[in-house]
C-alpha cells in the first residue's frame, strides 16, 4: 500500500485489557516453553497494533504540527500510552517470572528478557500520570520549536530553514542568521527554561517513586542500557576529552586558516571551505535519482530496498512551514516497512541526514523478521552504528551528489566535522548527568553547569555577544535534552563504531559492506557488546578505543 494512504485504527483500551486477561490465563496454564511461544506470538501482534498506531500518529503529527486532527491524535497517544505500558509491563513481568523463561529465551533471544527487565524496572502504575505529563511537555517543546517564524533576508523562515545559512560562503550572512537564531532562543528562553525545569523535576519525582535515588539510574533503564552504566560512559567521555579534544581544536585552527579569518567565531564553526561547504548540485527529486544510482552501485540489498522505498512513498524529506524539524526513521511493524523523515534545506546536511536515516531504515527492514518486534531495532547506541556507518560507506559515491572535486572536499569535511562532533556530543551527555545529579538547581545554575562543561570539551567555541550562547544556553537548542534524556551519548558511542567501518572500508571496501549488511540483519537480537563483537568492532569502553581511528584520521587529513 502507498504510505500516504495508510491509516490505522486507534486500539480500544477495554478490548486490549480483555485480550491481556486471556494472554495471562494462557501463559499460566502453559506446561512447557513450547506452549508459551504461540501466546507470545499473539501478544506480539497486540503490541504491534499499538506500536503501529502510536508510530503513525507520531509521523503524521511531525508532518503537519498545525493539523488539528493530528494534534488531537498526538494528544490521545500521549494520554493513553501509559495505560498500554501498564498492560505490557505486567505481561513482561509474567514472562520474566515464568518457570519456562530459559526455554523461551533459547527459542527466541535472551536479549528480549534483558530488555524486558529494563522495561519492568522503569515503569509502575504509580507513575502513569507523570508519564502522560512528561509526554505533554515533550510535545510542547516540539511544537514551540516548529512554530518559530523568523524574518530573515526578506522571508519568513523556520529554524530548520534558517540553518541552511550556517555554512554559507558569505560570512556576514552566516553571522546574521546565527544572530537571528540566537535571538529567537533568547526571546523564548523563559518558556524553554520552564519546560525543562518541569521535566527535570517530574523525571526526578518518577525516579523516586520507583525507588531510585536519582533520575540518572532510571534514565539508563529507560534507555535499556545493558551491560554498562554511568561509570563506563564517564570513562568514554574522559577518553574523548584526552584524545579527541586536542585534535578537534587543531582542526578548528585548520578551518580558520582555510577560511582566512582572524579568529574562528561560532558562526564559522560549520564552514570548512573559503567558497562555503560543497552543496548537493540539485534539488530533492534530482537527489533521489542520484541516490538510486548510488544504491544500485552499492548492492547488498540496498538497491532493491530503495526501489521499494520509492514505490511505497515512505519518505518525507522536504522542509515546509508547520512541519516539525529534524530527521528520523520509524519502523511500522504491521506495514512491515520503515518510514524516513527529514527536512532538506539545500546544504550538505541533506545528504548526511538522508544517508543516515536510510541506514536506520535499511537496518530495520533487514531485521524485520526477527522473532519478536522488540528486537527488530537494537538498543539505540547500536542503532546509530547503522545510520552513521552508512554515512561513511557511501563515501565512494559522493561525486554523484557533489561532482568529483567537491566530493573530495566533502569527505574531508565529513571526517573533520565527525571528529569535532565527538566532544560536543559528550558535553550534551555530561550536562544531563550534572542536571539530574542536582534536580533542584535553578535554570541559571543549569546554564552555569553548561558553561563549565563547554570549557572542558569545546575550548575553541567563540560566541562573542550572541545572546543565547554567551549566556550558557546553547544546550536549549538540542531537542534530545528535552525529549530523549540520555540518548545523545549514543551518537558518540556509535560514531566510534561507524569510524571503524570507515577505517575498514579504506582497506577492504567489500568486506566492510558485507559486515555492515550482516550487522543490519542481526537487528536487536544481541546486546550492544554482542553486536560489536559479531561485527568485529572494538568496544568504546576500552581504554585506547580511539587510538587507531585517530591515527587513520590524521593520516587521511594530512
Ligand atoms: Zn539516528
What is each CA distance from 521 to 21, 112, 369, 516, in whole angstroms? 34, 16, 9, 9
Q: How far is the CA of 57 from the centre of ligand 1 (A)?
A: 20
Q: How far is the CA of 256 from the centre of ligand 1 (A)?
A: 29
C-alpha cell at 57: 500518529
Q: How far is the CA of 470 from the centre of ligand 1 (A)?
A: 29
Q: How far is the CA of 387 from the centre of ligand 1 (A)?
A: 6
CA angle, 266 then 269 then 274, to 5°:
120
Q: How far is the CA of 558 from the centre of ligand 1 (A)?
A: 29
Q: Whole-angstrom Cα distance, residue 512 to residue 503?
A: 9
Q: How far is the CA of 384 from the centre of ligand 1 (A)?
A: 5
Nearest to 56 by CA among 378, 318, 334: 334
* 335, containing H or E segment: none
Q: How far is the CA of 494 from the centre of ligand 1 (A)?
A: 10
Hey, which residues does 341 pair with through a beta bridge?
316, 328
Q: How far is the CA of 357 from the centre of ligand 1 (A)?
A: 6
Domains of the chain from N-terminus onward: 3-134 (1.20.140)
34-93 pLDDT, tens digit each: 999 999 999 999 999 999 999 999 999 999 989 999 999 999 998 899 899 999 999 999
326: pLDDT confidence band, cut at 50, 70 and 90? confident
* 385, containing H or E segment: helix 380-393
Hey, which residues does 331 pair with through a beta bridge?
338
Q: How far is the CA of 464 from the centre of ligand 1 (A)?
A: 32
127-172 pLDDT, tens digit each: 999 999 999 999 899 889 988 999 999 999 999 889 889 989 999 9
Q: How far is the CA of 117 from the centre of ligand 1 (A)?
A: 24
Contacts with 151 (C-beta within 8 Å, 6 or more apart), sequence order: 157, 180
Q: How far is the CA of 327 from the centre of ligand 1 (A)?
A: 8
Q: Whole-angstrom Cα distance, residue 319 to residue 159?
A: 10
- 347 pLDDT exceeds 90? no
pLDDT value at residue 6: 97
Q: How far is the CA of 360 from the centre of ligand 1 (A)?
A: 7
Q: How far is the CA of 329 from the centre of ligand 1 (A)?
A: 8
103-123 pLDDT, tens digit each: 999 999 999 999 999 999 999
Q: How far is the CA of 284 from the centre of ligand 1 (A)?
A: 21
Contacts with 78 (C-beta within 8 Å, 6 or more apart), sequence order: 132, 135, 136, 139
**Does 325 or 89 have the greater pLDDT score?**
89
325: pLDDT confidence band, cut at 50, 70 and 90? confident
Q: How far is the CA of 434 from the centre of ligand 1 (A)?
A: 24
Q: How far is the CA of 422 from the centre of ligand 1 (A)?
A: 15
CB 126 within 8 A of CB 132: no
282: pLDDT confidence band, cut at 50, 70 and 90? very high
Q: How far is the CA of 340 from the centre of ligand 1 (A)?
A: 11
- 532 pLDDT exceeds 90? yes
Amino acid at each position: 500500500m502507498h504510505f500516504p494512504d495508510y491509516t490505522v485504527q486507534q486500539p480500544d483500551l477495554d478490548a486490549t485489557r480483555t485480550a491481556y486477561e486471556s494472554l495471562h490465563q494462557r501463559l499460566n496454564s502453559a506446561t512447557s516453553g513450547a506452549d508459551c511461544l504461540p501466546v507470545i506470538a499473539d501478544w506480539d501482534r497486540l503490541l504491534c497494533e499499538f506500536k503501529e498506531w502510536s508510530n503513525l500518529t507520531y509521523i503524521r503529527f511531525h508532518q503537519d504540527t498545525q493539523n488539528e486532527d493530528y494534534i488531537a491524535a498526538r494528544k490521545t497517544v500521549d494520554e493513553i500510552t501509559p495505560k498500554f505500558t501498564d498492560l505490557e509491563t505486567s505481561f513482561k513481568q509474567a514472562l520474566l517470572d515464568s518457570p519456562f523463561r530459559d526455554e523461551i529465551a533459547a527459542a527466541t533471544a535472551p536479549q528480549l528478557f534483558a530488555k524486558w527487565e529494563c522495561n519492568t524496572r522503569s515503569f509502575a502504575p504509580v507513575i502513569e500520570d507523570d508519564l502522560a505529563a512528561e509526554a505533554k511537555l515533550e510535545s510542547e517543546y516540539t511544537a514551540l520549536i516548529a512554530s518559530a517564524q523568523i524574518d530573515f533576508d526578506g522571508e519568513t523562515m523556520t529554524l530548520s530553514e534558517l540553518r541552511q545559512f550556517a555554512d554559507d560562503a558569505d560570512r556576514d550572512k552566516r553571522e546574521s542568521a546565527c544572530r537571528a537564531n540566537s535571538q529567537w532562543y533568547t526571546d523564548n528562553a523563559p518558556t524553554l527554561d520552564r519546560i525543562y525545569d518541569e521535566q527535570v523535576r517530574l523525571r526526578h519525582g518518577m525516579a523516586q517513586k520507583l525507588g531510585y535515588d536519582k533520575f540518572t539510574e532510571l534514565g539508563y533503564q529507560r534507555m535499556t542500557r545493558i551491560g554498562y552504566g554511568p561509570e563506563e560512559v564517564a570513562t568514554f567521555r574522559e577518553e574523548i576529552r584526552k584524545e579527541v579534544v586536542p585534535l578537534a581544536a587543531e582542526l578548528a585552527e585548520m578551518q580558520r586558516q582555510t577560511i582566512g579569518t582572524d579568529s574562528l567565531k561560532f558562526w564559522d564553526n560549520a564552514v570548512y571551505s573559503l567558497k562555503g561547504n560543497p552543496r548537493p548540485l540539485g534539488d530533492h527529486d534530482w537527489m533521489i535519482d542520484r541516490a538510486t544510482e548510488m544504491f544500485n552501485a552499492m548492492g547488498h540489498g540496498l538497491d532493491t530496498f530503495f526501489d521499494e522505498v520509492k514505490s511505497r512513498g515512505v519518505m518525507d524529506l522536504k522542509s515546509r512551514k508547520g512541519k516539525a524539524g529534524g530527521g528520523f526513521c520509524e519502523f511500522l511493524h504491521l506495514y512491515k516497512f520503515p518510514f524516513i523523515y527529514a527536512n532538506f534545506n539545500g546544504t550538505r546536511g541533506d545528504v548526511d541526514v538522508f544517508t543516515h536515516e536510510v541506514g536506520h531504515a535499511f537496518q530495520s527492514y533487514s531485521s524485520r523478521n526477527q522473532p519478536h518486534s522488540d528486537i527488530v531495532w537494537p538498543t539505540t547506541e547500536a542503532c546509530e552504528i547503522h545510520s552513521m556507518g552508512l554515512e561513511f560507506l557511501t563515501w565512494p559515491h559522493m561525486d554523484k551528489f557533489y561532482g568529483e572535486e567537491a566530493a573530495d572536499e566533502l569527505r574531508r569535511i565529513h571526517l573533520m566535522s565527525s571528529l569535532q562532533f565527538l566532544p560536543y556530543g559528550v558535553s550534551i551527555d555530561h550536562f544531563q548527568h550534572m542536571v539530574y545529579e542536582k534536580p533542584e538547581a535553578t535554570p541559571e545554575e543549569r546554564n552555569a553547569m553548561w558553561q563549565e562543561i563547554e570549557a572542558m570539551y569545546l575550548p575553541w567555541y567563540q560566541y562573542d555577544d550572541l545572546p543565547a550562547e554567551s549566556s550558557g544556553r546553547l544546550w536549549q537548542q538540542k531537542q534530545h535534552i528535552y525529549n530523549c534524556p540520555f540518548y545523545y551519548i549514543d551518537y558518540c558511542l556509535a560514531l566510534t563504531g561507524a569510524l571503524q567501518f570507515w577505517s575498514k572500508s579504506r582497506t577492504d571496501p567489500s568486506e566492510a559492506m558485507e559486515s555492515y549488511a550482516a550487522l543490519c540483519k542481526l537487528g536487536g537480537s544481541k546486546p550492544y557488546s554482542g553486536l560489536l563483537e559479531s561485527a568485529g568492532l572494538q568496544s568504546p569502553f576500552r581504554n585506547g578505543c580511539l587510538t587507531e581511528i585517530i591515527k587513520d584520521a590524521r593520516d587521511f587529513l594530512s
